[in-house]
Amino acid sequence: MDEISQPVHPLGREKEESCHDYFKLDSYDYDLPEERIAQTPLEPRDSSKLLVLERSTGNIRHLIFRQMPSLLDHRDAIILNDTRVIRARLIGMKADGSARLEIFLLKPLSGPEEGLWEVLVRPGRKAKPGQSILLDEDISVRILGHGSQGTRVCSFPAGLDVPSFIERCGNVPLPPYIKNTSVDPERYQTVYARKNGSVAAPTAGLHFTPSLLSEITAMGIEIGRITLNVGLGTFQPVKTTDIRRHRMHSEECFIPKETADLVRKVKSSGGKVIAVGTTVVRALESRTKENGDVAHGSFSTRAFFYPGYRFKTVNAMITNFHLPRSSLIMLVSAFAGLDLTMMAYRKAVNEKYRFYSFGDAMLIL
């Protein structure tokens, strides 16, 4: 499997000095009233607001998400991330009953059925190598050692059907800013989710309904799919004052040949490649070759996009509104420009848009 590391940004010294604010963490901060953080998803899914930002003019329009197809051309293609969120949060007890712990599954380090996983354990100080954590009446995981950046490596019992156990005993890991515990877990899945593997949803896709997808295809617009399993990087805040020093966690991806071929066809016909979410942007841009084609196949990526990066494949992006100082808002700023992005975010706050995972959407053209 290929590994795609952080991209080199093609900025010369003079350009870099003139753009120094792009690299300051404080440049990606904004004020958000707590009541603007969406706690409940709207019904139907496509009734959310849609802020439309035109990069060439800076114009902003306000629509409803179900109106989005009116902005598309029959030559365009929409690319979705078909990953599905696993029930990654498990609650257990130390074998001696002295402490309650949470096991947050990040990714399998072997085949999912083989039982070796990278995890977060909370509280981590109570998870010493060699300890066992009881998850069910007769099922324990054993802490084997430390992973990278505060993670642990653990093993499930040999012969256990781990995916089935997770589905039976785990909980869908809603983000910590969602306090509403009564949300139907299926509302944190896209309607086209197919492949288990993520610990967080590709939330830009939560606005699509089956009928909206049917309307899009009836217009002659083709839909492609990639799979990027969202991992720890989604939860990892950027802490470095100079954002260029931030290092992303690796995430596993797959681009089918059919999607790579679709992207080539759309680009040659003059249509737009429209990425649904930052995960799709990362996958496509990570695999764009020098000749402009997108390579298909499985790979892992640590790519981190921030202002200065020149996009080679993606022409438009659908995205939610992201946390301040996050790598996600930095990617959006790389695509739309820092000033335009922050202007759009301020406008969304003033217009009472709903923010984060269950919030409203933005289409950047």
The answer to whether position 175 is within a domain reads: no
Q: How far apart are CA 250 and CA 301, in angstroms?
A: 5
Edge-first strand listing for the sheet containing 49-53? 2-4, 297-301, 251-255, 222-228, 77-81, 273-276, 316-320, 361-364, 49-53, 60-64
| pTM across the whole model | 0.92
SS3 329: helix
Instruction: Name the residue range of residue 151's domain.
Output: 89-169
pLDDT of 296 above 80: yes
Which of 140, 169, 198 is where one domain is finished? Answer: 169
Q: How many domains does the chain have?
A: 2
Interacting residues of 298 by C-beta distance below 8 A, sequence separation 6+: 1, 2, 252, 253, 254
Q: Specify the DSSP class assigned to residue 24.
A: B
Among the listed residues 211, 266, 338, the one whose alpha carbon sits nearest the alpha carbon of residue 74: 266
pLDDT of 165 above 60: yes
Query: How many H helices and E strands in the chain?
Result: 7, 18
Interacting residues of 125 by C-beta distance below 8 A, sequence separation 6+: none
Q: What mean pLDDT do residues 85-93 have?
A: 94
Same domain, residue pair 93 and 72: no
Q: How far apart are CA 315 and CA 16, in angstroms?
A: 24
| CATH number, domain containing residue 291 | 3.40.1780.10
Q: What is the pLDDT of residue 149?
A: 73
Q: What is the pLDDT of residue 24?
A: 96
Q: Point out the least confidently predicted range of 37-41, 135-139, 168-172, 339-343.
A: 135-139
Q: How far apart are CA 265 and CA 254, in angstroms?
A: 19
Q: How far apart are CA 144 and CA 349, in angstroms?
A: 46
- Percent of the chain scored above 90 by pLDDT? 77
SS3 64: strand
Identify whether the C-beta of residue 139 lies closer than 8 Å to the C-beta of residue 165.
yes
pLDDT of 47 above 70: yes
Same domain, residue pair 59 and 96: no
| CATH number, domain containing residue 155 | 2.40.10.240
Same domain, residue pair 201 and 268: yes
The answer to whether position 178 is within a domain reads: no
Same domain, residue pair 53 and 115: no
pLDDT of 11 above 50: no
Same domain, residue pair 327 and 198: yes
Identify whether the C-beta of residue 143 lies closer than 8 Å to the C-beta of residue 154.
yes
SS3 16: helix
Going by pLDDT thresholds of 50, 70 and 90, the confidence category of residue 15 is very low
The answer to whether position 177 is within a domain reads: no
The answer to whether position 20 is within a domain reads: yes
DSSP string, 149-205: TT-EEEEPPTT--HHHHHHHH-B----TT---TTS-GGGGS-TT--EEEESS--GGG
State the virtual CA torsion across 273, 279, 283, 288 in degrees, nearest 10.
40
The answer to whether position 55 is within a domain reads: yes
Q: How far apart are CA 167 and CA 290, in angstroms?
A: 42
Identify whether the C-beta of residue 213 lies closer than 8 Å to the C-beta of residue 80.
no
User: What integer best gives the mean pLDDT of the chain?
Assistant: 91
Same domain, residue pair 225 and 349: yes
Same domain, residue pair 161 and 235: no
pLDDT of 220 above 80: yes
Which of 114, 142, 169 is where one domain is finished? Answer: 169
Same domain, residue pair 325 and 231: yes
The answer to whether position 278 is within a domain reads: yes
pLDDT tens readout for residues 305-333: 999 999 999 999 999 999 999 999 999 99
Give me Rg for the CA atoms of the chain. Answer: 21
Q: What is the pLDDT of residue 2?
A: 63
Among the listed residues 203, 251, 191, 263, the one whose alpha carbon sits nearest the alpha carbon of residue 227: 251
Among the listed residues 310, 252, 257, 309, the one whose alpha carbon sits nearest the alpha carbon of residue 283: 252
Same domain, residue pair 216 and 340: yes
The answer to whether position 174 is within a domain reads: no
Same domain, residue pair 302 and 270: yes
Counting Cα atoms < 13 Å in the Cβ hemisphere of 5 gives: 2
Same domain, residue pair 150 and 192: no
Q: How far apart are CA 55 and CA 157, in angstroms?
A: 53
Helices (H), 273-326: 278-286
Same domain, residue pair 107 and 191: no
Q: Point out the least confidently predicted range of 117-131, 153-167, 172-186, 269-283.
A: 117-131
Which of 121, 140, 169 is where one domain is finished? Answer: 169
Q: What mean pLDDT do residues 197-217 have?
A: 97
pLDDT of 225 above 80: yes
SS3 26: helix
The answer to whether position 176 is within a domain reads: no
